[in-house]
Amino acid sequence: MMVDTIKKAIDAEKPSPSASTASDKTAPKYTIPPATTTTVVTAGDGLASTKKRGKPARFWMIIVALSLLAFISALDAMIIGTALPTITAELGGSSVYVWIGNSFVLAASAVQPLVGQLSDIFGRKMPTVGSVVFFTLGSGLAGGAANPAMFIAGRAIQGIGAGGIYVLIDIIACDLVPLRDRGKWLGIINAWAGVAAALGPVLGGVLGQDNWRWIFYLNLPICTVALVTIVLFMHVNAGAATSSVRSLDVVGNFIFVPSIVSLLIGLVTGGVVHPWSSSRVVVPIVLGVVGWICFHLHQHFIAPNPMIPSRLFSNRTSAAGYILGFLSSVLVQAAGYFLPVYFQAVVGTTVMDSGVYFLPFAIGTLFAAAMGGVAMSHFGVYRPIHAVAFALAAIGFGLFTLLRSDTPKVAWAWYELIVVFGLGPTISTVLPAILAGLSQSDVAAASAVFSFIKTFGFVWGVSIPSIIFNGVVDSNLHSISDSKLQSQLVNGGAYAFASQAHDLAPTIGPVVWSEIVDVYIVSLKAVWWFGLALSILCVFAVAIEDKLHLSTELETDYGLQEKGPREKKKENLTADAGETSSTSV
């Protein structure tokens, strides 16, 4: 009966053959080509070219390269956390700890819309090569750092490369396949980011204890393989010939980058370096918000070729998709940031074991993202997938509120899986839903905005839950009878204390330790309630989305070239030989 109900819901969501997007009133009929047919509509000839053949080898090599880039960029983001105290201790950067940890995020966030516009002007290949080169250069610089300034510079350069990689993975994947299939391929590519998320904390702990520099040196051979693959096999069209560097939104970038950096500085230093009420936190946030508002006013009223055009938010489905993308990123980061705290402070595991216990969440994300994309490709709908996903996330966060020190492993492992099978499908299905209501020419800009919003959501996914967690800890410290321990946990100290809990527990009396664990349980429960509320909000936000057609045809100026350079050269040589033969006759 439940299966029948789900099928009826999916059937009800399927648009009629005459359904159209907000930007294309003459959308193609809702048909699914045979499995062996590749239908490509290019702006160059305006005609559908249907060929009975499978995908060329170049397509698969590009997918391999994108998967490698997704893996290495996600690994770099996840691996650093467990090794950061060791790196800071060796380089002597305790006074600039916050910049060692966040220079990467600031740089990655600020460049993403710019990379989207550059990919429209110069094509996809050149910005991709540039981003990989930046990431590789930054990795080498951070790995060989002799002081904190050199390390921060390396991480910032890495962040510029990673920001470009995040954007271009989505853009290139969207250029290769029709809208309806994009969720499937995005799920497959981003599944490798899930593998990296699973390996990151454990690998970071191992390399941090042995030689932390290999965390960054490890990137060099993988990036080299990806770079060579891109150069040799990524033969894609360069886009419209009218695009030029003059169309770059220079003024918009001069407003956007400082505004976002200012806003992020306030967010990452608040409650860590300075109190949230400090002028050093409030002023950057206010300046960032004002600058961001000015940027969007400039984009809407002044910019001749806006970097983030207002039309991206002009229909309810795209607007709802951006909201869901932001909120899902907040939820993913909140769970990923505080589950290790539960394992370390409440369960009493080592940092290394907490990484192992986090595996159901990380690996589950891999499968959930792929399954969500496949389901969207098969059924041709996205709203039921989003509704079910966020409902599962709400159930999972609700179950997290039951976590105690004696909760069986099998219980919390299943709780993790329920959450990721809720949040995982959103990784692969939200962007195609956003693109369903936009023109194909907006793919780069829309993908860049989506990537930025995800990254921005990760920052808020730490800031907001940390405010909640630290506030509840501070309000419950009176229940701990040891005043010295109270001073260690107050004002944000509880998060750092959790990583030492396994070693400190035997030195503290069982009664006092039980009091500390109770404070952690209550404080974490507040975070889980926040996740539950946000998940329910997402379920209601799904209702804003409209039922739009997911096209089964590809129309792009940047798609895979029909023939690579070698094939074209061979064809030209054959043609020349034919002409010579004809002339001699």
The pLDDT tens digits for 413-461 are: 999 999 999 999 998 999 999 999 898 888 999 999 999 999 888 888 8
Distance CA 357, CA 110 (A): 33
User: Nearest 5°: phi and psi at 344?
Assistant: -80, -45
pLDDT reading at 103 higher than 90 = no
**Would you state the structure tokens that stand for residue 456, as one six-digit string?**
């921005």
The pLDDT tens digits for 397-424 are: 999 999 999 999 999 999 999 999 999 9
As beta bridge partners, residue 156 has none
Its pTM stands at 0.84
The pLDDT tens digits for 279-305 are: 999 999 999 999 999 999 999 999 988
Taking the domains of the chain in order of start, what are their residue ranges? 53-239+305-556, 249-304
% of residues, the chain, pLDDT over 90: 43
Which ranges of 144-249 does DSSP label H, i.e. alpha helix?
148-176, 179-210, 214-217, 219-233
pLDDT reading at 387 higher than 70 = yes
Per-residue confidence (pLDDT) for residue 163, from 0 to 100: 92
- Higher-scoring residue by pLDDT: 22, 485: 485
CB 117 within 8 A of CB 307: yes
All residues at 6 or more sequence positions from 296 whose CB lies less than 8 Å from its CB, including other chains: 308, 310
All residues at 6 or more sequence positions from 400 whose CB lies less than 8 Å from its CB, including other chains: 335, 415, 419, 524, 528, 531
Nearest-CA neighbor of 375 among 303, 415, 411, 428?
A: 428
Residue 51 DSSP label:
E
> CA of 256: how far to CAs of 170, 358, 416, in Å?
22, 36, 37
**Given pLDDT bands bounded at 50, 70 and 90, which one contains residue 45?**
very low
- Higher-scoring residue by pLDDT: 373, 563: 373
DSSP 3-state of 320: helix
- Higher-scoring residue by pLDDT: 268, 396: 396
CB 485 within 8 A of CB 430: no
**Given pLDDT bands bounded at 50, 70 and 90, which one contains residue 6?**
very low
Q: Is 56 left (phi over 0), alpha (psi -120 to 50) or beta?
A: beta
Residue tagged 């290790």 (tokens): 340
Q: How many other CB atoms sit within 10 Å of the CB of residue 421?
A: 21
Q: How many other CB atoms sit within 10 Å of the CB of residue 275?
A: 13
Stretch 383-405: mean pLDDT = 96
**Would you state the structure tokens that stand for residue 111, as one six-digit string?**
């460049």
**Given pLDDT bands bounded at 50, 70 and 90, which one contains residue 365?**
confident
Query: What number does CATH give the domain 53-239+305-556?
Result: 1.20.1250.20
pLDDT reading at 505 higher than 50 = yes
Per-residue confidence (pLDDT) for residue 116, from 0 to 100: 92
**Would you state the structure tokens that stand for residue 422, as one six-digit string?**
């809720």
Residue 47 DSSP label:
S
Average pLDDT, the chain: 82
CB 341 within 8 A of CB 495: yes
> CA of 481: how far to CAs of 329, 472, 476, 508, in Å?
38, 17, 11, 12
**Would you state the structure tokens that stand for residue 478, as one six-digit string?**
């009176």
